[in-house]
Every structure is written in structure tokens, then in C-alpha cells.
Structure 1
Amino acid sequence: MATTEENPVLTPRQIITAMSGLVVAMLLAQLDNMIVAPALPTIVGDLGGLNHLSWVVTGYILASAVATPIWGKLGDLFGHKYTFMSAIVLFLLGSALCGLAQNMGQLVFFRAFQGLGAGGLIVGIMSVLGILVPPRDRGKYMGIMMAVMPVAMIGGPLVGGFITDHVSWRWNFYVNLPLGGIALFVIWSTLHLTHEARRTEKVVIDWWGISVLTTWIVSLVLAITWGGTEYPWGSWQINTLFAVAAVGLVVFVLIERKAVEPVIGLHLFGSKNFTLATVIGFVAGFGMFGTITFLPQFQQFVQGQSATNSGLLLMPMMLALMATSIGGGQYISRTGRYKAFPVVGTVLLGIGLYLFSTMTVDTGTGRSALFMIVMGLGLGCLMQTTNLVAQNSVELRDLGAGTGTFTFVRTLGGSIGVAILGTIYTHHLTQSLTESVGKTPDLGGGSVASLTPAALKDAPADFIAAFRHAVVAGTHQIFLWAAVLTIVAFLISWFIKEVPLRGSAPVVADAGSEVDDLV
């Protein structure tokens, strides 16, 4: 059996020194999505294929989702430091390949490869932080980590937009390489986890579980993404994918029940708090990735903003998220109380998404900025709090697996969210455009699928107006559906059990005890 000794108490200076590498890695993880987001219209237009827009994001998120619980489990088995560094190396290799992509198929494939490495970044950061810092103090240190995320989210779109407008979208991927090199060096030289629990028995990897997990997730997302676009709903292709996903999920559960070291331990869901926090995390991922992916479409095509400016316009949401994360972390550390955060957070998230659904072709940047502030406050209440609840609902020996499972479900929410919202967006955009103009005018040999914001400016005036209304029709639907989903999360948040956080390392529960008492 694994050792389950408690962590020695570290001084704040020791913790900050050890966290320095985590901060750089967090910056690396968050910058990638933020840099790419404002460049998506140009990337898709350059390589061709509006129908594949969601897959540039979905392929990355999907691979990241599949890899996340695997990296978490590998960290528990082999040690978190070098597992974490391996994930960074894989991520950097994928970044270089994305920059070399020559067509949409290659870009989607390389983004998926990059996502395999990305799956180990966030779970590695949160697992190491869970080892370094006791539960009662973890809130304020997680607040520091969450503050890095908005900084990356603010700087990322600005950098990504500037690179897209003035250099080339390919450098949005190449920029990861020097930053990743710094992260590897800092982690190698400063992070010393001499006190993390070690496995003393022979390591057994759940290969069957990993294979079946990958199969049913990929089948599910493909079915949602292709349904109504590549193939009609109810077609044998879509029905087969759904059937494979359903059977795969059942087989996966059966495998995990008997596995010696399950990649996703089903016993984790024996904790009510862990289950509830994970479901709320799913909804937060759904709303966050949907907004980041499709809001630039509205900003650039309807509001006429450049890629650089569309990144800058995300600042209100990121600043609100940062302020709430830091303030919330300090409050939780002082009081040990946290239940109000998921309740209030789901309300604000739902309101923010609904407000986005009310945007029209006349909505100015000032009004949309107010909507972003509301949503940013909601995400700030949810992101770190749900992770904290999930981490402290598991035993220390399962910290990596628990963190990985939580992050996996949240990332899966983003993946499914982008896939579903992408399908809704494309359907309503195409339908609205067809109803307005009947057919697409000659755009110099191009098509709607390869339309960029720059190319739209040269289109006939009546087509520009019709296309902007079509974009509004698409964004209205996706934000409205996302807002409806938050109602479920709001109801669930009331059932979280609030137990004061302890001021020392996580107490390992006895076998069969209720691990909610660890929170």
C-alpha cells in the first residue's frame, strides 16, 4: 500500500519558492488558449473551413480531457515532479507542430497532440499545490494561482491579436517554446517534493481503462459535433457513435470497479462534496470555453473589431475573475467557509450568459463589457472554490487522481460545450444567412466557410448586413442554451456540505469513512 504520511509544514518562503515554477507553468497553460482565441477567425479563413472552427478548439480540449486523469494517476504512481515535466515537453512538441500545419486536418490533429500534453499541466499544478500547502491555507495560495490565469487571459488575447494582425498566426504557437523552456528549468531547479507520498508496491497501469475511456469520450464528442452538420441526426453514423459511447461508458465503469489502480477511481464519487463540485466544474467549463471560443466571432464580425482589439475587449471579464479569485481565496483562508461562492457564482454565471444572448448588431463594446464583468465575477467564484472542495474530499494518496478526475470533468464540459455550441452556432448562422440572401455572393473565389473579418469588409453591403445578423442569430442561441444549463448547477450548489477547512495537511480518512469530513 502507499504511504499516507502527512506533509511537513513549510514556511511561506519555502512555499513561494516551490511555487515559482508552477506560476510559470500556469502562465504557459493559460496563454495558449488565450493567444489562439482571437486568431481563430483568421486561422480558419486561411486554412479554410468554418465548419471546422469548433474542432480547432474541440480537438485540443478533447485530448486534454482524456489525458487529464491519466496524468493525475501517473503523478500518484511515479511522482508528480517528473510526470509534470514530461507533460510540458509533450505540450511544447505539439505547439511546434501546430505552427507548421499546412491545412485544417493537420492543425486539428496537432492541436489534439498538443492537448495530450496540456492535460498534464493544470492537473500537475493543482496536485503539487495540494501537496505543498495544507487545506486551510490553500485558498489564498490558489488565489495567487488563479490570479495568474486572468493575467494570461488579458495578455494572451493582446499578444495573440497583435501577432495575428502584424506577424502570422503561426507564431501564436511558436511563442510557447521559449516560455516552456523557462518553465522546465525553473521547475527542475526549484521544485523539490521530498515529502510527497510514494508508492512502494509494483506499479500497475490501467491500460484497459485508458483505452476504453478514450474510445467512449471521442465517440461522444464526435457524435455531438457531427450531428446535423457532417451527418443528419438519426443517421447510422451518428447513432453508431452514440451507441459506442454508451457501451464504452458501461464497459469503462465495469473495468474501473475491478482495476488495481483505476485511472478514475469510482470510490472518489462516494463523497457527495466531490461529486457536486465536479458537476459544477463541468458547467463552469461549458460556459467558459464557449464564451472564449465564440465571443471573438461576434466582436470581429459584428462589432468590427480587429483580432488585437477583440482580445483587449476580454479584459473586463478577466479583471473581474482575477479580483474575485484573489479576494475569495483570502476570505476562505481566513474563515474556512466557502459554500456561498458556488451558489453566488452559478447565479452570476447564468446572468452573464443570458445577457450575452441579448446582444444585437447594435450592441456596443461598452455594453458587452458590462456583461463580461458579470460573467467574470461568476467564474471567479467557481473556478478555485470547486477545485478546493474536490481536492479536500479525497485522501492524500489519491490527490493526483482526484485532481485529475475533477479537471477531466471540467475540461470535458468545455469540450462537449464547444462541440454542442459550435453545432448550434453553425446551424443558426447558415440558416439565417440562407433565409436572408438565398445564396452566397461571389467573394473572389472564397466561400462563407473561408470568410475572414478582413474579407467580409470587401463583400457587398447587403451580404455584410445579412452575415452580421446571422452571427447574432448564432451567438444568441449558444449563450441562451449555456445560461439554461447553469440553472442545474445553481440547484446542485445548495447541496454542498460546508465543513470548516483544517489548518494542517489533509487528514487521511480511515477506510470506509466519509471523506467529506476532510473538506
Structure 2
Amino acid sequence: MTHREVLRALSGLLMGMFVSILAGTVVSTSLPLIIADLGGSQSSYTWVVTATMLAMAVSTPVWGKLADIFNRKLLIQLALTIFVLGSAAAGFSHSTDFLIGARVVQGLGAGGLAALSQIILADIISPRERGRYAGLFGAVMAVGSVGGPLLGGVITDAIGWRWNFFVAMPVAIAALIMLQLTLHLPKHDRPKPKIDYLGAVFITAGISMLLIWVSLVDHNFAWASVETAWMVGGSVLLLVLAVVTELRVANPLVPMTMFRNRTFTLTVIASLAVGVLMFGTAVFLAQYMQLARGATPTESGLLTIPMMVGLFTASTVFGQVITRTGRWKPVMVTGAVTAIVGSVMLGRLDGDSPMWFVSLAMLVLGAGLGMLMQNLVLVVQNSIAVENLGVATSAVTFFRTIGGTAGVSVLGSVLALQVKDRIAEGLATLDPEQQAQAAQALGGGTVPKIADLPPSIASVVEHAYGSAIGHVFLLTVPLALVALIAIALLPKQDLGTLTAVQARAQAEEVAADMAGIEGPQKTEERRVDDDEASPATMRS
């Protein structure tokens, strides 16, 4: 494909990605207000975010497997439709429970969009050339990530938060049309459709039960309790059954043989850590701006721009560097170190931190994530056999989302406990009349509206959230170190020059020639391990 043809094919794909990012970020600045209006608690706030990521995580491997056996264009249109329907339902929420349910539907669609966009990208662009187009994806991510919170803040302040969930629908309809008109993927022989339903059930149930336990423990029941025993034990049992199933079935949802590939295994570890950094930071920064600094939703959107600027700039510049030089590892190691520095800086936040320091910390962390996110997928796609492209790509997205989901759940639980203790300490310094007012305003355990609180109580709440969120950010530093170690251990490998479509066609030709010339027995003797001898030209 020529550069012009690639851009035409990417237009609908980029628009679909923009819709998913916009619909996810447009509510971020208004979420504290939404939870307050619906009478939700800090636990509800965490679960509104976690529900989407959980649904996204457990559905991603399924979408990836479907991509290997069904029409990818049809699948991404279906995922976009599901996502938009979930967004529309969220706009009619009358309780936090209904909102969480709608966000689950959103997550099911988001899982497809996240996995399929990367899979289709590999179909039409080779790994070596992919950095050239990273700027386009970075631009879409930056505009959606920066414009979403800002637009959401303006909409919330002007006409109400419910319209945040409806704003993406016209763009989604346009994206569906563009995908139909511009995305034309060549046909190729696909395996007979076989879906590992049992494995999907075990994986979904095991991960879901574990994350639900994380969000409930120490709030609804104690760590050492009967509930903890059966939930953790049940989760472990289900995940063991999932592994056994994946090892035994003919067409596994997540082939365990991929973990023999050192690059794949290390990338999965790094993706878990990056997921916590990416999702956790985005979730709690909105709370920091509004609950610790008294910003409005619009101001909150403006204040988070530095992080997206860092992400966009780094992904664009270093994507071009990788395309020109073919050297990806120095970029990723630098990104991991930068992310560590950004996490440490955010860990120093409190309610009185200078805004220039907050902005610089977000800029640094964003730059680190920009050097890591797309390149983790690129490295896996470059190292894995083309027949496993869909499941390998979705697996990286799956583990990144799992990391983010678990991270948000755990960090949200820590935040709730920290805020509760620090508010109690702050209120103890007030006079009895103010303490009575505080008990009436904060006694229900819901996320407060800072603007509605008396100044003395508002000051206590802001200080509690500021110092507690800084503590939460500090907990992400060890995970950033894990990402650095995993990336440093990645084996160096040249980037392939063929698209997935070309590699697949070449693999089919080689297989046909070997079968015809050497016979079945010789062909079997020449089979080698995926990790040790899959040539670069056979990789996406």
C-alpha cells in the first residue's frame, strides 16, 4: 500500500479510536460531580471506573480470538456499536448501580476497539514503518484525552453531566460510515471457527471474582474472614482451571505456548505495570484537581493537559526515531526511567503543592508512558508468529487493562481509607459546632461537593484528599521499577519489514511448498519453537 492508501485505510480506524477515547475521557472531569449527584461513595467512584476496565479486560482475549477467525472489519464495527450503546445508557443513569452496569457495556465495546485497532494496524503497516504513523495515533489519543476532559467540563458546567455520555454518538455514526467506506482488508483463508467457551468462562469468572474481592475487602468484610477465603480461593481455583483448559483444548483462547516466547512474557509483565500507571493516574488526577484543589470540571480538564502533551509529543517524536533507526529498546528503557521519575514527583503531591510542579510531574509521566504504550504492542507483534497475531495483541492489551483495573481497585481502597483517617484527624482540630456540621455533611460516606461545604470543613477535606492522593501515587513507583526491569531484559530483535497480510501470505506459500516438496514427515521434522526460529520476515 502507498502512503496515501494507508492514510485512507486508517481514517475510519482513527475516528473509531477517537470515539472510544472521547467517550471514556469526557466524563473524567465530571465524575466526582456525577457520583455526588447520584449519592455514591468513594467505593462507587472506584467501581464506576473499574467496571469499564474489568469488562474491557475480560472481553479483550475473546475479541482477539474472534479476530483470528472472523471478519475484522465487521468485528470493529460491532465493538464500536456496543460501546456507543453503553455510553447512551450511561446518560440515563438514575443511580450508581445503573451507571456501573452501563459502564460494563461500554467496557465490552472498548475491549474490542482496543484490541482490533492494533490488530488491523499490523495488517496494513509493517513493524519497521509503524513508527511513521505513531504520530497519527498519538494525535488522536492526545486530542481525545486532552479535549475530552475539557469538553466534558464545559458541558457539565453549561448543560449538565448527562450530555457527556451523548456527545460521542454523532462522531460514532460517522466513524461507522468511514470504516465501511475506507477500510478494505484483503481476504485470506481463516481457520474453521472454534471458540474456547470454557476457557473464556473460567478466565472471566476468575479475574472478576479477584477484582471484586479487592474492591470490597476492608470495607464490607475483613482481610481475615470467610468472605476473603472463599472469594480468593474460588478465584485461584477458577484461574487454575483456566490454565488447565488452555493447555488441553485444540484452539485455546490464550495459547499458553506463547509464554515460551521470552519477549511476550516480559512484555506482559511490563504491560501490567504500565496499566496501573496509565489508568490509576488518569482516575485519581481528576479527584486531586477537584477535591484537593477546588477546581471546577472545566478547570480540571485544563489542568491535566500537560500529561497529554507529554504523551503525544513523546509517542510522535520517538515513533519517528524508531522508524528511522529501527532501534526500539533505548527508547523504551528511557520511557520506563522517565515514568519512574514522573511517579516519584506525583508521589510528593499534597493539597498545597505549586501548580507548576503538578504540571511538570504530569508532563514527565505522560512522556514516559508515550514512549512505552504503543511500543509494547509493537515489540510483541514483531516477535510472535503471524497466526497468533490476534491473540498475542489482545493478550498485551488484556494484561495492561488487568493491571489498570486491579491497580485502580487497590489504590481506590487505599485512598478511601487514607481519606477517612485524615478527615477524622482534621475534624478533631475543629470546634464542636463545626464538628457537628461536618458530621451532617460527611456522615453518609459519599464523595462530597467541595463548593457546598463550609470553608473550614472544605479545607479539611481538601487537605485530606491532597495528601492521600499523593500517597497513592507514591505506591505506583515500585510498579514502574518492575516495568523498567522487564523492558531491560527484553532481547534485542530487528523490526520486520512485512505487514501481517504479507507475512501471512508468505507463510502460507512456504507451508504449501514444504508440504508439496518434502512430504508430511519432513515438514514435521522442520518445525521449530516459535520463539527460537521464527524469522523476522515471517513476523508482523
TM-score interval, smaller chain: over 0.9
Asked if 1:441 is matched to 2:432, the reply is no
* Residue from 352, 357, 365 that aligns with 1:367: 357
Alignment partner, residue 282 of structure 2 = 292
Is the partner of 1:203 in helix, strand or coil?
A: coil
Q: Is the contact made by 2:351 and 2:467 (CA closer than 8 Å) also made in structure 1?
A: no
Show the 5 A alignment for 1:12-161: 12-50=3-41, 51-161=43-153
Asked if 1:404 is matched to 2:398, the reply is no
| Cα distance in structure 2, aligned partners of 1:65 and 1:327 | 29
| Cα distance in structure 1, aligned partners of 2:331 and 2:206 | 33
Is the partner of 2:445 in helix, strand or coil?
A: helix
Q: Is the contact made by 2:307 and 2:363 (CA closer than 8 Å) also made in structure 1?
A: yes
1:193 to 1:446, Cα distance in 2 relative to 1, 3 A: same
| Cα distance in structure 1, aligned partners of 2:436 and 2:240 | 46
| Cα distance in structure 2, aligned partners of 1:503 and 1:467 | 55
Residue deviations 1:403-450 (CA, integer Å, cap 9, x gap): 111100111111111101100100100111122225673587664633
Is the partner of 1:36 in helix, strand or coil?
A: coil
- Tell me which amino acid in the other structure corresponds to 2:317: G
| Cα distance in structure 2, aligned partners of 1:281 and 1:56 | 22
Q: Is the contact made by 1:221 and 1:419 (CA closer than 8 Å) also made in structure 2?
A: yes
Q: Is the contact made by 2:84 and 2:169 (CA closer than 8 Å) also made in structure 1?
A: yes
Among the aligned pairs, what percent are the same residue? 35
Alignment partner, residue 459 of structure 1 = 453
Residue deviations 1:318-371 (CA, integer Å, cap 9, x gap): 111111101111111111110012211111111111111111221132220011
How many residue pairs get aligned? The number is: 506
Alignment partner, residue 180 of structure 1 = 172
Cα distance, 1:147 vs structure 2: 2.4
| Cα distance in structure 2, aligned partners of 1:366 and 1:54 | 28
Q: Is the contact made by 1:424 and 1:477 (CA closer than 8 Å) also made in structure 2?
A: no
1:489 to 1:442, Cα distance in 2 relative to 1, 3 A: closer
1:202 to 1:469, Cα distance in 2 relative to 1, 3 A: same
- Tell me which amino acid in the other structure corresponds to 2:19: L
Is the partner of 1:208 in helix, strand or coil?
A: helix
Alignment partner, residue 515 of structure 2 = none
Show the 5 A alignment for 1:217-232: 217-232=207-222
Cα distance, 1:142 vs structure 2: 3.1
Is the partner of 2:254 in helix, strand or coil?
A: coil
- Tell me which amino acid in the other structure corresponds to 2:445: A
1:287 to 1:440, Cα distance in 2 relative to 1, 3 A: farther
Q: Is the contact made by 1:440 and 1:448 (CA closer than 8 Å) also made in structure 2?
A: no
Q: Is the contact made by 1:88 and 1:118 (CA closer than 8 Å) also made in structure 2?
A: yes
| Cα distance in structure 1, aligned partners of 2:499 and 2:98 | 46
Q: Which region of structure 1 is more displaced relative to structure 2, 122-131 or 266-275?
A: 266-275
**Bigger Rg, which one:** 2
Alignment partner, residue 7 of structure 1 = none
- Tell me which amino acid in the other structure corresponds to 1:500: D
- Tell me which amino acid in the other structure corresponds to 2:495: L
Residue deviations 1:255-293 (CA, integer Å, cap 9, x gap): 011222211111222211111122112111101111110
Asked if 1:317 is matched to 2:307, the reply is yes
| Cα distance in structure 2, aligned partners of 1:41 and 1:488 | 31
Cα distance, 1:143 vs structure 2: 3.4
- Tell me which amino acid in the other structure corresponds to 2:36: G
Residue deviations 1:112-153 (CA, integer Å, cap 9, x gap): 111111110011111000001112112222332122101111
Residue deviations 1:27-56 (CA, integer Å, cap 9, x gap): 011112211111111011011122211001
Asked if 1:385 is matched to 2:402, the reply is no
Alignment partner, residue 327 of structure 2 = 337
> Gaps spanning 5+ residues in structure 1: where?
1-9
Asked if 1:497 is matched to 2:491, the reply is yes
Q: Is the contact made by 2:134 and 2:320 (CA closer than 8 Å) also made in structure 1?
A: no
| Cα distance in structure 1, aligned partners of 2:83 and 2:161 | 18
Is the partner of 2:29 in helix, strand or coil?
A: helix
Which consecutive segments of 4 or more residues in structure 1 shift more than 4 A?
442-448, 506-511
Is the partner of 1:88 in helix, strand or coil?
A: helix
Q: Is the contact made by 2:80 and 2:109 (CA closer than 8 Å) also made in structure 1?
A: yes
| Cα distance in structure 2, aligned partners of 1:259 and 1:182 | 40
| Cα distance in structure 1, aligned partners of 2:162 and 2:348 | 34
RMSD, aligned CA? 1.8
Alignment partner, residue 243 of structure 1 = 233
Asked if 1:352 is matched to 2:342, the reply is yes
| Cα distance in structure 1, aligned partners of 2:156 and 2:383 | 43
